Amino acid sequence: MSVTIAKLIPIDTRCLTTVIDHKAYYGSEHFILRKDLCSNTLIKRVDKLFLREIQENSFRSNKEGKYVEVQAVEFMETYLTLNSGINKANISCLFYEYFKNLGYELKIGVNHHNPIGIFKDNEWVGMVLQIRVIKAGGTK
């Protein structure tokens, strides 16, 4: 499946920019990615829908967090469950496909509340927020 920027960042999505350790990051309310790795299309979309700049180094703790490799992926209808053997994290199929197609590795934070780390050559280059899955009956 080919994921377009328009699918990844719909027109009603709030976008943001930030700086972590002197490097610019672009993204939305769901993810950030180091700007030098963003496609021109992604940069234009964020610039068009830009809402706010997040205070510098607000996400530093996520960058410096501990992450573990995904051991298994369970495919559901609209999301995936990533399993490291220690923790599980749910991610939208769109975000998973987009970042995997670009060759990035997704890793789960050791703390199950952490965002999912995006890595290139074992370097943290961004993050995707987990999605909350509500099961029938209103349980998580």
pLDDT of residue 138: 52
pLDDT of residue 71: 82
pLDDT of residue 68: 79
Q: Which helix (H) or strand (E) holds 116?
A: strand 116-120
Residues of the chain where predicted confidence (pLDDT) is lower than 70: 1, 57, 60, 112, 134-140
pLDDT of residue 52: 74
Picking from 88, 106, 107, 85, the residue whose alpha carbon sits closest to that of residue 96 is 106
In this structure, what token pair is assigned to residue 86? 């220690």
pLDDT of residue 2: 81
